């Protein structure tokens, strides 16, 4: 840290008027949701427009845009400088969720029926495409940033989207094959590509690029983002098995039913032997629709017996400790202690979250 | 500092392995100086191979991990700088490309020669032989033709694919030509897509003051 504790003067809409950093997540979430709605209001009188305008109004965690905006402000940027990129990220996230639910045939999202359940697969796929395209537009309309910074952030954004798609493709391939010879390093490679880049790494990098006007090296932030994102994903894996579906907004054990290669499942496959292994391989080789609730309970029981859940909990904790260790170097050149503290508290949110 | 148990350490160890595979991460995880004290192999600053060169430098304890981290950070800063400079350079090129190219222009009083240089480029991949550049005529904004004889040097061109040459347009302005601005097009036989605007100002000598008076 290089300056005093006084909050930076970042403009009329700066979040530094908030009393405590813990309020940042909610503050940014409200701001971005309003901006997303304003962005999608154009064309909302068509059948497609109505569908894509309604979807982002479902309340998510808002972690990604919040992390981006807080990082932007932490490195001395004005909140308004990062808003368009935060909106783009949120729209792309929504596009990914819509298509993800179709791919996995998930019935619920954010406490409501998934879009393909509500409007049919054709309209859901179409809406996902539309959201992905609409996500690009805010990036191109950023008069507050220089042309070179707009290009840099847009390049990072598209690179992140490509990595995420590659990661999702990797996981689909593993499930289709089906692959069971996976190790914990494979899991982290998957998580890095599928989740970390767009959940934590891009928000941190883009926020720093915009706030610091591309003058600050991004490697330390990338390290922090990787560990934070990995901890976030392991926590997500655990919530699927042990969380409250009502609070989580998804079906209980939906990842397990879909055969997603979560950390507990990969650990279990590495531990189980004999008849249990034969049964588990058969379970993973069957179509998801044929996996019964009893099957899922059996897998969960195996995970309990082989310590897969406690191992995942320990991994989550270990990655979180690593993220905390990586935090200080990442924000060494930040200029707003208020926002740095806010981001530090987001680590706790990620690790301890129940939704 | 929180202490890691074996499983937690296993998680961080795996994270470091995966991160070190990816140069695109910036390389800092391979250094991982921020993980010192957790007991992750390769991260503790006092961990040094016996007899390693770093450990023998005049008995001075060298923090290899920190040194490696500094080098990585310096390289990263340099890479960022180069990327920024490249972006600035590209922006400047974009700006130049957006600007209209300056129009070849010359001036002369009636009865003299105005000279204009023009660049001709063969945008095709193949060579063009015996191309003839010419300016069919110049007219004023009101459409009045300029009383002049126009020639181009050289009269004939041999151009390789994508070759660029400069030609000179000589405008022999008639002594009775009316002062004013005249415009024409340089075209080239053999290069049907080439048409370069050329302008000439015939200076009104009666309005030019004589500084020696």
Chain B residue nearest residue A201, CA to CA = B25
pLDDT of residue B55: 30
The residues, any chain, with a CB within 8 Å of residue A275's CB and separated by 6 or more, are none
Confidence of residue B83 (pLDDT cuts 50, 70, 90): low
Partner B, chain A 102-121, Cβ-Cβ below 8 Å? none
- C-alpha B119/C-alpha B104 separation (Å) is 9
CB contacts, 8 Å: B91 with chain A: 146-148
CB < 8 Å from B in window 282-341 of A: 311, 314-319, 321-322, 324-326, 328-329
Kindly report the nearest CA distance between residue B165 and chain A, in angstroms. Answer: 34
Q: How far apart are CA A255 and CA A269, in angstroms?
A: 15
pLDDT value for A62: 84
pLDDT of residue B152: 93
pLDDT digit string, tens, across residues B25-65: 444 444 445 454 454 444 444 343 333 333 333 333 434 44
Pick A101 or B36 by higher pLDDT: A101
Would you call A328 and B4 a contact, using CB atoms and an 8 Å cutoff? Answer: no
Q: Using CA atoms, how far apart are residues A31 and A87, in angstroms rounded to an integer?
A: 10
Partner-chain residue, chosen from B8, B17, B25, that has the shortest CB–CB distance to A222: B25
**Distance separating alpha carbons of residues A74 and A72, to the nearest angstrom:** 5
pLDDT at A127 over 80: yes
Dist. CA A232–CA A200, nearest whole Å: 9
* Residue B17 confidence (pLDDT) above 50: yes
Residues of B in contact with A314 (CB under 8 A): 5, 7-8, 11
Paired strand residues for B140: B182
Contacts A188 to B, Cβ<8 Å: 14-15, 18
**Distance (Å, whole) CA A18 – CA A268:** 45
Is A214 in Cβ contact with B26 (below 8 Å)? no
pLDDT at residue A119 greater than cutoff 90: no
Work out the average pLDDT over A237-244.
Answer: 86
Interface of A with B in 169-188 (CB under 8 A): 184-185, 188
Per DSSP bridges, beta strands B191-202 and B105-108 are parallel
Q: Per-residue pLDDT tens for B115-131?
A: 888 888 887 778 889 99
Beta pairing partners, B121: B164
pLDDT at A17 over 60: no
Query: What six digits make up the tokens of B106?
Result: 């010359």
Task: Please report the pLDDT score of residue A22 as a whole number.
Answer: 61
A157 close to A89: Cβ distance less than 8 angstroms: yes
Residue B95 has pLDDT above 70, yes or no: no
Provide the whole-model pTM.
Answer: 0.65
């Amino acid at each position: 840290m290089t300056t005093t504790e006084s909050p930076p003067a970042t403009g009329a809409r700066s979040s530094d008027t908030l009393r405590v950093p813990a309020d940042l997540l909610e503050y940014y979430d409200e701001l971005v949701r309003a901006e997303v709605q304003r962005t999608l209001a154009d064309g909302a009188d068509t059948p497609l427009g109505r569908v894509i305008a309604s979807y982002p109004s479902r309340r998510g965690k808002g972690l990604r845009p919040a992390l981006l905006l807080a990082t932007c402000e932490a490195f001395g940027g004005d909140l308004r400088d990062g808003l368009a990129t935060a909106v783009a990220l949120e729209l792309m996230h929504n596009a990914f969720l819509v298509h993800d639910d179709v791919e996995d045939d998930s019935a619920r999202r954010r406490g409501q029926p998934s879009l393909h359940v509500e409007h049919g697969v054709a309209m859901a796929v179409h809406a996902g495409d539309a959201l992905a395209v609409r996500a690009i537009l805010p990036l191109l309309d950023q008069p507050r940033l220089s042309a070179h910074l707009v290009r840099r952030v847009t390049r990072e954004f598209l690179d992140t989207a490509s990595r995420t798609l590659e990661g999702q493709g990797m996981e689909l391939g593993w499930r289709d094959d089906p692959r069971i010879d996976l190790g914990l390093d494979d899991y982290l490679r998957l998580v890095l590509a599928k989740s970390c880049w767009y959940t934590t790494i891009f928000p941190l990098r883009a926020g720093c690029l915009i706030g610091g006007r591309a003058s600050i090296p991004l490697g330390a932030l990338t390290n922090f983002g990787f560990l934070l994102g990995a901890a976030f994903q392991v926590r997500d894996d655990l919530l699927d098995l042990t969380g409250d579906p009502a609070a989580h907004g998804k079906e209980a054990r939906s990842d397990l039913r879909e055969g997603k290669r979560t950390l507990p499942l990969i650990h279990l496959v590495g531990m189980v032997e004999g008849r249990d292994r034969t049964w588990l391989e058969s379970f993973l080789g069957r179509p998801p629709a044929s996996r019964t609730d009893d099957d899922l309970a059996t897998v969960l029981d195996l995970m309990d017996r082989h310590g897969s859940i406690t191992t995942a909990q320990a991994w989550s904790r270990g990655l979180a400790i690593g993220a905390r260790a990586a935090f200080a170097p990442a924000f060494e050149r930040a200029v707003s202690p208020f926002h740095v503290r806010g981001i530090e508290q987001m680590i706790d949110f990620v690790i301890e979250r129940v939704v | 500092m929180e202490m890691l148990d074996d499983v937690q350490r296993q998680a961080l160890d795996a994270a470091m392995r995966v991160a070190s595979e990816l140069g695109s991460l910036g390389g800092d995880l391979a250094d991982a100086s921020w993980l010192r004290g957790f007991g992750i192999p390769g991260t503790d600053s006092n961990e040094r191979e016996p007899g390693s060169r770093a450990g023998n430098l005049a008995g001075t304890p060298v923090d290899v991990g920190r040194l490696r981290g500094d080098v990585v950070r310096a390289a990263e800063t340099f890479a960022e700088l180069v990327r920024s400079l490249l972006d600035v350079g590209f922006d400047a090129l974009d700006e130049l490309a957006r600007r209209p190219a300056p129009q070849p222009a010359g001036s002369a009083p009636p009865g003299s020669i105005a000279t204009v240089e023009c660049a001709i480029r063969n945008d095709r991949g193949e060579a063009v032989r015996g191309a003839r550049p010419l300016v069919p005529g110049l007219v004023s904004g009101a459409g009045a033709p300029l009383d002049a004889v126009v020639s181009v040097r050289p009269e004939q061109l041999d151009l390789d694919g994508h070759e660029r040459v400069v030609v000179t347009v000589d405008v022999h302005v008639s002594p009775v030509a009316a002062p004013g601005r005249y415009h024409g097009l340089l075209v080239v036989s053999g290069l049907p897509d080439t048409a370069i605007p050329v302008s000439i100002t015939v200076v009104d000598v009666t309005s030019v003051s004589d500084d020696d008076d």
